[in-house]
Amino acid sequence: MMINRAKLRQSFENIRSLTEALCDPLEIEDYVVQPIEDVSPPKWHLAHTTWFFEKVILEKFEANYKPYDPTYHFLFNSYYQSFGERWQRTMRGVLSRPTVREVLAFRKAINERMTNLIETCSDQDLPEIGRLITIGVNHEQQHQELLVTDIKYIFANNPLSPVYNSIIKEQNVHLPEPAMIQISGGVMCIGYDGNDFAWDNEKPVHRVFVDDFHISNSLVTCGEYLEFIRDGGYKDFRHWLSDGWDRVQQEGWQAPLYWSALGDEWQMMTLSGLRPIEAAEPVSHISYFEADAFARWAGKRLPTEAEWEVAAHNLNSDLQSANLLDTQAFHPLANKTSFLGNVWVWTSSSYSPYPGFVPEAGELAEYNGKFMSGQIVLRGGSCATPRDHIRLTYRNFFQPEKRWQFSGIRLADNLHK
């Protein structure tokens, strides 16, 4: 493949500046805190994504490479055993230094060294550098999504309820009637088979048998979820997996994350501040356990990841109209019909290697494969996913109890019960 240095540089610079732009609404103090282990300080995201380029690319390809600051290699390695010792993940929020200013200087310096490398490296090195930059850029896009969800968590857990962005006014559109759509099965191919970038976990394309099934043309809404709550959904063990029911008891779950009772009504914390529940909006910030319980209560089930992928190919998976990060709504919108965007949907599939899976070579083998246990696949992207980062074969994954991502429900069902 012929690599265009100018395009590569453009892509690199765009992604790098978008990350910083996402932090514009923050005060210095907001960059520092880590309310729970899952949520990293925004400052850490800024530094870690930079460390990635320095460690994975500059250290190998830059002539006369010298580390920007050797301590940063310890502080900003996330989970790569191959890259040596790391600062403890639970302790990211106790580091006041480096300051935000210092982190931004780190970004600037690495950006310059990277763009210099792009322009001056040998033609021989270029393909490998290009490949690694593409991974680094996609890695940074994942952290863009995490930045949004982590900022939301930081703000939502502050009694002063800070506001990140102003509300996007939705256009009323004529929405199709909600319905279960029949999809024909058989031996289907799923997985990535193209020439652009995709993660190792999306490959290889392979055959699966999928029976005919039904899938909803719309996401479960807050209004529908409210019926589940009002019907005692959180109080009846029969809807729940055993681990889910334990979690409901331990955590005292009574509604999605960020919902709070206001007298007889519910309100929710959003990145635009506290708002009443909007019945037509897709429900979000629920765990797999809640998604699964809702589906059982509704007499339906969650789709497998293969079913989701097959259905998305058949139905509306328009990328341009989808509500993704670029929309800048930072919130699921009611008037969207694409299988992509709004909220990631929990599938019923455990995160496992595809048949024939081969991890990325070298240290980046640690990127995906080692996490293939105890997690559930989510599909479709969310309002916090960059538009040019998502695709129909994309496999996101989280533990079944996690709720701080924009995660929701699309129901499926068997044809004959």
Q: Which of 10, 17, 81, 260 is close enough to bind a second copy by CB under 8 A?
A: 81
User: What is the token pair recorded at 341?
Assistant: 């965007």
Task: Give the list of residues 6+ apart from residue 194 with CB closer than 8 angstroms, or none.
Answer: none
Among 46, 156, 208, 324, binds a second copy (CB under 8 A): 208
Q: Which of 176, 178, 194, 356 binds a second copy (CB under 8 A)?
A: 356
Decide if 407 contacts 378 (C-beta within 8 A).
yes
| Binder of a second copy out of 12, 31, 51, 164 (CB under 8 A) | 31
Footprint on residues 240-269 left by a second copy (CB under 8 A): 240-245
Position of tokens 């043309």? Answer: 217
12 vs 289 by CB, closer to a second copy: 289
Instruction: Note whether 291 binds a second copy by CB under 8 A.
Output: no
Write out the two tokens for 17. Answer: 């500046």
* Distance spanning both ends of the chain, measured CA to CA: 50
124 belongs to the binding site for a second copy (CB under 8 A): no
| Contact status: 374 vs a second copy (CB under 8 A) | yes
The stretch among 7-15, 56-64, 193-201, 234-242 that binds a second copy (CB under 8 A) is 234-242
Give Cβ neighbours of residue 148 (< 8 Å, ≥ 6 apart).
22, 271, 325, 330, 384
Rounded to a whole number of angstroms, the minimum distance from the CB of residue 66 to a second copy is: 18
- Options 3, 23, 75, 315; binder of a second copy; rule CB under 8 A: 75
Q: Which of these segments, 46-54, 140-148, 225-233, 349-357, binds a second copy (CB under 8 A)?
A: 349-357
State yes or no: residue 209 binds a second copy (CB under 8 A).
yes
Q: Which is nearer to a second copy, 108 or 207 (CB)?
A: 207
Give the span between the Cα atoms of 417 and 414, in whole angstroms.
6
In angstroms, give the least distance from the CB of 267 to a second copy: 17
Q: Is 206 helix (H, G, I), strand (E, B) or coil?
A: strand
Q: If DSSP codes are grouped into helix, strand and coil, which group holds residue 114? A: helix
Contacts of 170-173 with CB under 8 Å at 24 or more apart are 170/333, 170/334, 170/335, 171/335, 172/335, 173/335
Q: Which x/- pattern over 93-112 shows residues binding a second copy (rule: CB under 8 A)?
A: xxxxxxxx------------
Q: How many helices, marked H, and strands, marked E, lie in the chain? A: 10, 12
Among 201, 348, 385, 393, binds a second copy (CB under 8 A): 348
Stretch 159-198: interaction string toward a second copy, x if CB under 8 A = xx-x------------------------x-----------
Nearer to a second copy, 67 or 355 (CB): 355
- SS3 percent helix, strand, coil of the chain, rounded to 5, is 40, 15, 45
Q: 229 — phi, psi (to 5°)?
A: -60, -50
CA distances from 208 to 101, 185, 188, 203, 378 (A): 51, 10, 5, 13, 18
DSSP bridge partners of 70? none
Residue 186 DSSP one-character state:
E
Residues touching a second copy: how many (CB under 8 A)?
65
Containing H/E element for 275? strand 273-276
User: Would you count residue 207 as binding a second copy (CB under 8 A)?
Assistant: yes
**Which strand (E) or helix (H) includes residue 190?**
strand 186-190
Q: Between 93 and 136, name the residue whose CB sits nearer to a second copy.
A: 93
**Minimum CB distance to a second copy smaller for 236 or for 318:** 236
The answer to whether residue 138 forms part of the interface with a second copy (CB under 8 A) is: no
**Which range, of 15-23, 86-94, 130-138, 164-172, touches a second copy by CB under 8 A?**
86-94
Interacting residue ranges for a second copy, rule: CB under 8 A? 27-35, 43, 71, 74-75, 79, 81-82, 87, 91, 93-100, 154, 157-160, 162, 187, 206-209, 211, 237-238, 240-245, 288-289, 292, 348-350, 352-353, 355-356, 365, 370-374, 400, 414, 417
